[in-house]
Chains A and B, each alone.
Chain A
Amino acid sequence: MNDGILSQILDYANRANPYPLYEELRKTPVFHDGTGPYVISTYHDIQSLLHDPRLSSDSRNLAATAGDPLAEGEGEEAMALPPSFLKLDPPEHDRLRRMTNRPFGPPHSPRRVDSMRGGLKDIVTGLIDNLGDPGRIDLVDQFAYPFPVTMICQLLGVPREDEARFHVWADTLAASLDPDPDADPAERQRATHDSRMELGMYLAGLIEERRKNPGDDMLSQLAVGHGPDESMSTMELLSTAALLLIAGHETTVNLITNGMLTLLRNPDVLRQLREEPALAVPLVEELLRFEPPVQLLPQRTPLVDIEVRGITIPKGSSMWLILASGNRDPARFEDADRFDPHRKDIQHLGLGSGIHSCFGAPLARLEAQLALSELARRLENPRLLEDPPPYRRNAVLRGPRHLRITCDGIRP
């Protein structure tokens, strides 16, 4: 592995503030150290490449992964599932994403996400009610973590009595994305594998049951299938469910936690949000620009030699698109390092762009808007107990592992 700026980006020591490294990286918009990936860090280049049909998201088009420290290992194969649509190109991608979208959003289910508002609000209220001692709150463990899993259970249609088991599997899988150097790797791997198996078996059983007795939940709708695309195979459905679970989980935790951290560092904005909950909408957009939960996309590879800024990136190379760097590119955003929820020009890369742009975006936005505006309203004079907080290991899905705060009380 190289010793340069990429390893610094991956180095845990820089997790709390990778932005100066991105600034450095932008001086070489197409960065390549000879053996590693081609790294793209400026807004316009990333934006173009996300719409470039010569780039594949299918790892089978990678020529070699040697030299790419983020190249995927055998992880997913342990579950022996076909790749999810996140890692497929059209037409397979389009077919699976379209089918998944049918029960989730327009045109067939235009009100799905909005109809979840009440349920989401109840989850948020319940979690805040149970925060306990206002003097010592870990906002990650007590709020940001349980929230999205409870929500995804509702969305997929996991019965309430199974939620506890589901939470455990989901947590183990999410933790596997974020290796802890102190843990025994073999032990971890076994735990992860077991969780995958158990979750897979559980979901397969649930799918079977929903085929017979379909309900209004997404799993039922996907299992039954409609229209010209027909239905997903059980294996495709399992891949899709696993994708929704992982992608819709870890990222939302980080969006909410990064959001609260940013608000606590900008008390005037926190105050504004308390007085004016509607500010949550532009605020979450600015947050997705300023502290995106997905910092970079490590899985694009050109199908042919392509030229970016006069540099030829050979067919089959691995590439990283550093979304978080593009979001802070001063060539695109005025005062890019400033958090400004009143910013008007905010076409960020926080949810990606192009055909792989975040599938769960409408839900993630709503979750973060509700969570942050309720926290701002109910926590009385909240303060950070440590700044920066301890971060997760993961450089790609970046966010605090804990967010310890104190406040004077919790408003009803």
Chain B
Amino acid sequence: MPDTALEQLKRSGRIVVVGASLAGLRAAETMREKGFAGSLTLIGDEPYEPYDRPPLSKSVLLGRADADRTLLPRRRALDAEWRLGVPADGLDMAARTVRLADGDTVPYDRLLIATGVRARPWPNEAEGELDGVFTLRTRDDGAALARALAAGPRRVLVIGAGFTGSEIASACRERGLEVTVAERGDGPLVGALGGVIGAVAAELQREHGVDLRTGIMVTGLEGDATGRVRAAHLSDGTTLECDVVVVSLGAQRNTEWLTGSGLGAGPRGIACDAGCRAFDIRGIVTDDIYVAGDVARSPHALFGYQFLSLEHWGNAVAQAETAAHNMLSESTERRPHLWVPAFWSSQFGVNIKSVGVPSMGTEIMIAQGSRAERRFTGVYGYQGRVIGAVTFDNSRWLQFYEQQIEATAPFPLPFTTVDRRSDGHKPMPADFPDPSVPTHGPTITLSGYSPADRRITFTPAGH
């Protein structure tokens, strides 16, 4: 028997999307694609229509693209009401309304939350407000930082050597600017890829003239009389003169507006089931509230049913499409969001890609190529199976390793491959930092599992 309520929803229902960025846009497009003819409202805290973020830490900082020219291409006309420049401020699950910061309330029959993340600010608020201190997340951030770099500062300090921090340092060097990178861990990218790869990334940075300082914290920023930053104090007791500081300490999830709503939302994101339906705080799945993108946390069969949340471009698209599909489908036609995490970065002339969850890995082997040549594939192992892979300038092989992850193939790899070198025969400890120490996860991605790809075949270990 057809679900008449569903038919009615599709014909004349009200769908509200909170979060007008990549996931929100793709979800809205998918809804229209699926024949949703009712009213569609997109709410975004920024005054801009959805734009693409990956260029902000790359071509925008190099002056090759304008921050205001990275609008996301539209897949189709949306016929939506845009409420831009006004953040959502509260949710009343019983009344099915979203409250906006300007006091308005927007009623919904189905709600999709895709509020994403924001840059973690410098913990000392006064220091963070000094002129010349930046974070990089939004289009305005990108434009402001690009202007500051174009003005030719004498030294840039980047605090944090995750992906964004490393890309910023790379852009600075390409512009011929002196740059210091201060990282609390033992090397760049160690949170996402571990110490073995971090050592390669460190060499790469130093070769390109980055003043990389690891195992160090910035203890304070100092301004001059006009309120401009002029120096940073480091935990080794030294002081560094700098006139631009970029705080690149990872991201925080935008969930505060849901406090007290009864939805299962917190600092680590909004918990949802594999079909993107949000949980309430009692652990009961909702029927009318869906989640997608960086703010969502969902359980994944391939990774021990851990609730994963990822700041991955491809994940945002895939999850948005799945959420939109499920919002408009009978229960038997809903599908799970079973993506394999994938991300992409470009820095110091090297293309870095990764699939799976390297940071779950305890061991790594260099399956192809060599670290000395900066062209290799590293495969991560966890409890005797392949859990992740990373390539430096070697991405054309990555799909194979993705399939190994999907098939929970044994680790170390029991076979040989083309381009296996002598150091690739034995696994070594992947050398991830203590998980209780905060690190930067991967932040920028361009690839990912698409529903058009082959479905995952999950083979439990031991079979």
Contacts and interface: CB of A to CB of B under 8 A. Distances in A.
Nearest to B375: A94
28 contacts: A44-B454, A47-B399, A48-B400, A48-B403, A51-B396, A51-B398, A52-B400, A53-B367, A53-B377, A53-B397, A53-B400, A53-B417, A53-B418, A53-B419, A54-B417, A89-B419, A90-B369, A90-B418, A91-B369, A91-B373, A94-B375, A94-B419, A107-B349, A303-B416, A304-B415, A354-B396, A354-B397, A355-B396
Contacts of B400: 48, 51-53
B369 A303 contact: no
A56 interface: yes
Contacts of A354: 396-397, 399
A3 interface: no
Interface string A87-118: 00111001000000000000100000000000
Interface in B359-381: 367-369, 373, 375, 377
Mostly helix, strand, loop or mixed at chain A's interface?
loop
Contacts, number: 51
A54 B416 contact: yes
Contacts of A55: 418
Given A91-B369, A354-B396, 20 more contacts: A44-B454, A47-B399, A48-B399, A48-B403, A51-B397, A52-B400, A53-B367, A53-B400, A53-B417, A53-B419, A54-B416, A54-B417, A90-B368, A90-B369, A91-B373, A304-B415, A304-B416, A306-B415, A354-B397, A355-B396
Interface string A282-306: 0000000000000000000001101
A91 B424 CA distance: 14
Nearest to A305: B415
B68 to A, nearest CB: 24
A161 interface: no
Interface in A337-387: 345, 354-355, 357
A64 B13 CA distance: 66
Contacts of A94: 375, 419
Interface string A30-48: 0000000000000010011
Interface residues of B, number: 20
A357 B397 CA distance: 12
A94 B395 CA distance: 12
Interface in B437-463: 452, 454
A354 B403 CA distance: 14
A47 B403 CA distance: 12
A56 B396 CA distance: 15
Given A53-B400, A345-B452, A89 B415 contact: no
B419 A90 contact: yes
Contacts of B418: 53-56, 89-90, 303
Nearest to A51: B399
Contacts of B368: 53, 90
A345 B415 CA distance: 34
A395 B399 CA distance: 29
Interface size class of A (residues with CB under 8 A): 20 to 34
The 8 closest A-B pairs by CB, nearest first: A53-B417, A90-B419, A89-B418, A51-B399, A304-B415, A51-B400, A355-B396, A354-B396
Nearest to B417: A53
B416 A91 contact: no
A49 to B, nearest CB: 9
Interface of A: 44, 47-48, 51-56, 89-91, 94, 107, 303-304, 306, 345, 354-355, 357
B111 to A, nearest CB: 29
Contact of B397 (A304, A306, A345, A355): A355
Nearest to B418: A89
Given A48-B403, A91-B369, A94-B375, A303 B396 contact: no
B65 to A, nearest CB: 15
A48 B398 CA distance: 10
Interface in B375-399: 375, 377, 396-399
Contacts of A91: 369, 373, 419
A56 to B, nearest CB: 6
A54 B415 contact: yes
B128 to A, nearest CB: 36
Nearest to B368: A53
A355 B367 CA distance: 16
Interface in B280-317: none
A368 to B, nearest CB: 24
Contacts of B397: 51, 53, 354-355
Nearest to A304: B415
Residue picked from B369, B399, B403, most chain A C-beta under 10 Å: B399
Interface in B93-132: none
B64 to A, nearest CB: 12
A94 B397 CA distance: 13
A219 to B, nearest CB: 26
Contacts of A44: 454
A54 B420 CA distance: 10
B416 to A, nearest CB: 6
A94 to B, nearest CB: 7
A357 B395 CA distance: 13
A354 B401 CA distance: 13
A89 B396 CA distance: 13
A54 B418 CA distance: 6
A48 B454 CA distance: 11
A343 to B, nearest CB: 13
B406 to A, nearest CB: 11
A143 to B, nearest CB: 34
A137 B234 CA distance: 78
Contacts of B452: 345
Contacts of A90: 368-369, 418-419
A56 B417 CA distance: 8
A321 B265 CA distance: 49
Contacts of A357: 396
A303 B375 contact: no
Residue picked from B417, B418, B419, most chain A C-beta under 10 Å: B418
B183 to A, nearest CB: 27
A107 B349 CA distance: 9
B378 to A, nearest CB: 13
Nearest to A331: B454
Contacts of A54: 415-418
B331 to A, nearest CB: 26
A90 B367 CA distance: 12
A292 B375 CA distance: 32
A241 B397 CA distance: 26
A51 B453 CA distance: 15
Interface in B398-446: 398-400, 403, 415-419
